Structure 1
Amino acid sequence: MKKQFLLRSTSMSAMISKKKLFACLLCVSVCIILKKHVANMVLTHFPQRSCKKCLPECDLGAMKRFNKSVEPFLSAKCTLSEVAFTWWKGLQNEKRDFISYKATVDHLLKMFPAAPDVVGASPDRCRTCAVVGNSANLKGSLYGTLIDFHDVIIRMNQGHTKGYEADVGTRTNIHIMYPESAIDLDDNTHLVLVPFKIMDLEWLIQAFTTGFTGESYRPIKSKIKANKDMVMVVNPDFMRYVHETWLEKKGTYPSTGFMAFVLALHICDEVHVFGYGADKDGNWDHYWEKLTDPNLRTGIHPGIDEYKIIQQLAEKQIVTFYTGL
């Protein structure tokens, strides 16, 4: 009996050892599979640091839309023609003349740097940009970490981050706005003004000095908190180029979001687009607020055409487009 008991005990111990070995092997296999899966997710969802192509010289040029010679920002060497001024003054019914415009720009350029470099171009560096729109399709997207991965993060108008970090990220390098959509910025963010009238240029000057006292179709911040040495102003001729060349004169003028998108094509090596597109009813709805006008659609802007162009570039793998939820 004792001998039989010992044999049974030995047999049971062997079985237990085999089970332990099997469990260990299974655990190792699962870990290897998970590791590969995570690696594939990173490769799939996170942009790589080596550029596949140079945007300006390749496909964009072939599409006959991209024009590298158009200066995106105002500077002393970048002069606006009277033809371009005539187009620009019609955007919001500017009454003043070309001389008034030039005098205001001269004053502005004495206050702010011509065009501070955002991320310097380099043969061994690929500047990846995330252009983050304000669409409600960002809600629940969990794109935040992916957005923050990029070198340059571009936001616009009243785009929020606080309270929405998981979906929209935390960092901002460039914030594009006009006076009626202005918000305060930290010292590390470039304020990029899109001017639609001479008053917008005056607002920028006064918001950093005496305080703005003028009136517009919406309330405007009198003062703004931002780094004066990181201010840039979009060239009105660049706005005309986006409207006439990219949008073929559709709509009254391009949206701030679409101008931000084309701007990214001019200053980045890789462009990744987030938060663009209307909701299921065709309205431009923001991720941080409830839509108050159910018939808004895309306002005076050719929203459908702007979206189609981004889609086309994404299909040609010129940009990467994250459509959200």
Structure 2
Amino acid sequence: MTMLLKRLRYIIALLSSMTILLVLYFQNSATLSFYSFVRKPKSHICLEDRGNSSWFSERYKPTVPLLLNSTNSELHANIFSWWKELQDVPNVTNYTEVVNQLFSLFPDEEHYSDAGPDRCRTCAVVGNSGNLLGSNYGQLIDSHDFVIRINKGPTEDYEKDVGNKTTHRILYPESAVDLNDNTHLVLLPIKVLDMQWLISAFTTKNITQTYTEVPSTIKASKDKVMILHPEFMRYVHDNWAEGHGRYPSTGFLALIFTLHICDKVNVFGFGANSNRNWHHYFDETLTSFESSSHGGDFENQTIYQLHQENKISMYKGLT
């Protein structure tokens, strides 16, 4: 009888242990399923589905080089010919020599090649439209991983509406401003002289004139300098602006560039203000979205279509 009781106790203890293990197993499985369920909506919200829009897929080219470096600096003849036609200032310097100088001075590496299903990089493209005034978008803009600003658009005194975070600023010599050490200077090279100015601004400081007066130097981190690739400029002109204008505007190039490096793109400060006037938020000078160089009207239509296709979210300020 004593032996039988011991066996019964052993069996009961074994069954109890198995029950506890099964409970723990299913509890962990349920927890994992829950976290998987929680993560999936975030991924779905953040990551844009590149294949669900034929209009987008016809234009978007994931293999285009975004930034210039020593390994991709040799331009195809058709790209170089198109880019050369943009040069308002005569080019007297060999392009290859300038590129060699560039990458002996600035970073020569591939950027933003970390795309993948688990990445969720949120980006704000901040234009300079007067519709930002009174918008109170500052905190929302600063909450993004990347904040890309354009040309001279200031943040000081406008923080409530435009924020104060800047991770990238796309500019050219004629629109150059000083940057803090945490900001990437992204050069838009309309001409070889722009690349020469960039070199000079960090070394000899002897270039002070292009087609107008330009600063001889710029406060910026040499280690955060990047140069847009002329082939990327041509791609935006052909695929997205569909040949309208001589070359795309800085804002339009910034937006398409952001589409290539980010998973969620929110756009601020593009378009007219509530009175349908086109001016910068930092001055009252009226501007026109049409010019001899840019196909502004077509660019605006394309930006609106990107919003309609759920590839970007447009924040229009006060309406």
Range into which the TM-score falls when normalised by the shorter chain: 0.7 to 0.9
- Aligned match of 2:296: 303
Identity of paired residues, percent?
A: 46
TM-score normalized by the length of structure 1:
0.78
Question: Per the alignment, do residues 188 and 295 of structure 1 end up closer, same or farther by CA in structure 2, a change over 3 Å counting?
Answer: closer
| 1:257 pairs with one of 244, 251, 256 | 251
User: Deviation string for 1:204-237 (max 9, x for gaps)?
Assistant: 0010111132412332110111110110000011
Question: Per the alignment, do residues 96 and 214 of structure 1 end up closer, same or farther by CA in structure 2, a change over 3 Å counting?
Answer: same
TM-score normalized by the length of structure 2:
0.80
1:118-267 equivalences under 5 Å are 120-267=114-261
- Aligned match of 1:321: 314
CA distance in 2: counterparts of 1:295 and 1:137, whole angstroms: 13
Contact persistence 2:131–2:274 (CA under 8 A) = no
- The residue type equivalent to 2:66 in the other structure is P
User: Deviation string for 1:164-188 (max 9, x for gaps)?
Assistant: 0010011010110000000010111
Asked if 1:71 corresponds to 2:76, the answer is: no
- The residue type equivalent to 2:238 in the other structure is E
| 2:90 pairs with one of 78, 92, 95 | 95
- The residue type equivalent to 1:299 in the other structure is S
- The residue type equivalent to 1:50 in the other structure is S
- The residue type equivalent to 1:298 in the other structure is E
CA distance in 1: counterparts of 2:54 and 2:254, whole angstroms: 16
User: Deviation string for 1:278-308 (max 9, x for gaps)?
Assistant: 34786641100120xx574432311111111
SS of the residue 2:140 aligns to: helix
CA distance in 2: counterparts of 1:179 and 1:281, whole angstroms: 32
Question: Mean alpha-carbon deviation: is it higher for 277-286 or for 230-239?
Answer: 277-286
Question: Per the alignment, do residues 231 and 269 of structure 1 end up closer, same or farther by CA in structure 2, a change over 3 Å counting?
Answer: same
SS of the residue 1:158 aligns to: coil
| 2:77 pairs with one of 82, 85, 103 | 82
Contact persistence 1:179–1:221 (CA under 8 A) = yes
Contact persistence 1:51–1:126 (CA under 8 A) = no
Question: Per the alignment, do residues 295 and 317 of structure 1 end up closer, same or farther by CA in structure 2, a change over 3 Å counting?
Answer: closer
Contact persistence 1:154–1:172 (CA under 8 A) = yes
Question: Per the alignment, do residues 137 and 202 of structure 1 end up closer, same or farther by CA in structure 2, a change over 3 Å counting?
Answer: same
Show structure 1 runs of 5+ residues with no match: 1-47
Let me know the Cα RMSD of the aligned residues: 2.2
SS of the residue 1:130 aligns to: strand
Question: Per the alignment, do residues 205 and 58 of structure 1 end up closer, same or farther by CA in structure 2, a change over 3 Å counting?
Answer: farther
Contact persistence 1:282–1:298 (CA under 8 A) = no
- The residue type equivalent to 2:236 in the other structure is V
Question: Per the alignment, do residues 119 and 270 of structure 1 end up closer, same or farther by CA in structure 2, a change over 3 Å counting?
Answer: farther
Contact persistence 2:201–2:207 (CA under 8 A) = no
Show structure 2 runs of 5+ residues with no match: 1-40
The Cα shift of 1:133 comes to: 0.4
Asked if 1:286 corresponds to 2:280, the answer is: yes
